[in-house]
Amino acid sequence: MLKISEFATAAKTTRRTLILYDKNDLFKPALVNNEGYRFYDYEQIHELSFIQTLKNLGLSIDEIKQINANDKTDIASEVLLNLKSKVHKQIRDLVKVNTALTEKNNYSCDLNNLPLYQPYEHINDEALFWKSTNLDDCTPQVIAKAFSEFYSHLERFMGVSANCSGFLIDLPNKSAETLANTSFALIKEATIPVNDNSITTVKRPAGNYIAIDVNNDNGHNCENIRKGVDILIQMATDSHLTIDDKLWQINFNKDVRSPNATSNIIRLEFEIK
């Protein structure tokens, strides 16, 4: 048998915790000798581990005692249902965190080595994007409100996917000069369709695109984006390419949650029709 300090070390807890559990009749020692010293069996580590897991989930000592009770009371059943609901929520939250960490790892590239302002062609796979309602006013106040509403609404879907985020910009005249006065929407890559009053799901078609990587100017006059768009349009003209009138602006590495959280490097893309 183990003394209380030895058992606490083996179970990765503290002597104080074991005494508290004993006094509350939650977890008792295997033996208390005549001098009042507590002793534990190795086999009790498994039982304590389960108790500690429930405690870490936020259950009170009384709730854990009800779960451990031998009789199947209605109270215990209610506690178990609440526990299952809490566990499922934590699983969903952990999936979201794991997804974000995976994406951060997958998208961690050396942005300093990207050749900026050099147009190129590449092939995109088909992808679904969640899209906000169209915005015509690009003032900071309007954009900030749009970001807040968009991501608050998406919160229940965020664990599904989240690779790319950015903007979808309408450029019917295919001119960089119209950027400041054209409508745009927030986008976030998705894998399930969502369509309601606030969010629709749009498809970025598979196929050939012309693209360019530029420095992000975080909405200040959009000079870098204008420059990139001008280069792409000139490339299309020189190569006799017909391009779509939608500009895909994709952020590198960062999940855009506020107007000032965009990545330092962004990719601009036009689909080749």
Structural domains of the chain, ranges and CATH numbers in brackets: 2-90 (1.10.1660.10), 114-271 (3.20.80.10)
Q: Which two tokens stand for residue 162?
A: 């989240």
Q: Which residue(s) pair with 3 in the sheet?
A: 39
Q: Mind giving me the DSSP string for the chain? A: -EEHHHHHHHTTS-HHHHHHHHHTTSS--SEE-TT--EEE-TTHHHHHHHHHHHHHTT--HHHHHHHH-SS--HHHHHHHHHHHHHHHHHHHHHHHHHHHHHHHHHT---GGGS-TT--EEEEEPPEEEEEE--B----HHHHHHHHHHHHHHHGGGTTT--S-EEEEEE-TT--GGGGGGS-EEEEEEESS---SSSEEEEEE-SEEEEEEEEE--TTSTTHHHHHHHHHHHHHHHHTT--B-SEEEEEESS----STT---SEEEEEEEB-
pLDDT of residue 81: 77
Q: What is the pLDDT of residue 99?
A: 62
Amino acid symbol at 161: S
Q: Which two tokens mark 144? A: 């900030």
What pLDDT score does 23 carry?
Answer: 94
Q: What are residue 267's phi and psi, to 5 degrees? A: -110, 130
d(CA 187, CA 165): 6
Q: What is the pLDDT along the chain (273 residues), one digit of tens a residue?
A: 889 999 999 888 999 999 999 999 999 999 999 999 999 998 898 889 889 888 887 788 888 888 777 555 555 567 677 777 777 777 777 776 666 665 555 544 455 566 889 999 989 989 888 898 888 766 666 777 777 777 777 766 654 445 578 889 988 877 777 777 788 888 888 877 778 877 889 999 999 999 999 987 655 567 888 899 999 999 999 999 999 999 999 886 544 333 444 557 889 999 998
Torsions phi, psi for 172 (to 5 deg)? -60, -30
Q: What is the pLDDT of residue 112?
A: 57
Q: According to the model, what pLDDT value does residue 160 have? A: 45
